[in-house]
Each structure stands twice: as structure tokens, then as C-alpha cells.
Amino acid sequence: MPSIDQLVDAARAVRLNAHAPYSGFLVGAAIETPGGRIITGCNVENATYGLTVCAERVAIVKAISEGEREFVRIAIVADTDAPTPPCGACRQILWEFGGDLEIVMASLVEVKAMYRLAQLLPMPFDRRLLGSKQFV
């Protein structure tokens, strides 16, 4: 299994691939599967901002496109003094595919904070709330 340092290092490295010409705010994310595989993602901005995709969602979608369906933790790296948590949309997507996974927030030089997703998203909307519908 990768160490937290390896996960954070992967997020730091992919952060340099971010496309952030408008904000200049580069973010990298690295998500880990139960088998120890690390899949990375970076933020990709768009001039309309609404079509911008966060690093966490890029990592999740990339992992899903590569056949992964379970995750245990994610590292998020930004060049900030304070921890940079996932936005609301990312929290929802992370919950949907990772449940109460570990969230590691780091700067360019150190881990700033670690949380469980349930601490950041205490009342998630998920399939439990969809009633008696059958899921395939």
C-alpha cells in the first residue's frame, strides 16, 4: 500500500499539469484504491468557470474510466497555507464513489490536515434517499 507521502507526492506532481489560466490556482489530486493503485487528476479551467472541473473530480472520473470503482483515500494539494478542502460538488462525487474515505489536504511542502469525508459532508445525499427503487 502506498504511504501518505507517496499519495501526496503524486498529487503534487500532477498539480503541475493543471490548466488554470484564469485563476492561476493549480490543484492536484491523487486517489487511492483498496489495492493500492494511485490515480491522479488536476483542475482544468474553462473561460465560463461553470465548466471548470476540479482535480478531485478529474481523478475520480479518470479512475472510473479505467475500471476502478472503490477508493480508500484522496490527497489534495494546492499552494496555500491553509488546508484546501474539496468543494461541495467534489464532496458529493467523492461520497458517491468512495463513501467515508480519508481526505488528506497538503500544501507544496507539508500535510496540512486529514479528515474523514463524513466530517466534511455530515448529511450526504446518496442512494439510501432514493426510496425503494432497484439499482443495477
How many Cα atoms occupy the beta-carbon half-sphere of 1 within 13 Å?
10
Superfamily (CATH H level) for 4-130:
Cytidine Deaminase, domain 2 (3.40.140.10)
Report the mean per-residue pLDDT for the chain: 94
Residue among 56, 70, 96, 102 flagged as catalytic: 56
Q: What is the model's pLDDT at position 135?
A: 52
Q: What is the model's pLDDT at position 132?
A: 61
Residue 44's φ and ψ, nearest 5 degrees, are -130, 105
pLDDT tens profile 11-24: 999 999 999 999 99
Domain assignments of the chain as residue spans, ordered by start: 4-130
Mean pLDDT of successive 10-residue stretches along the chain, which has 136 residues? 96 98 97 97 95 97 97 98 96 95 98 98 87 59
| H-state helical runs in the chain | 4-15, 55-65, 88-98, 117-120
β-strand pairing of 111-116 with 73-78: unpaired
Query: What pTM value is reported for the model?
Result: 0.92
Annotated catalytic residue 56: yes
Contact 108/77 with Cβ under 8 angstroms? yes
Task: State the residue for C-alpha cell 467515508.
Answer: 100
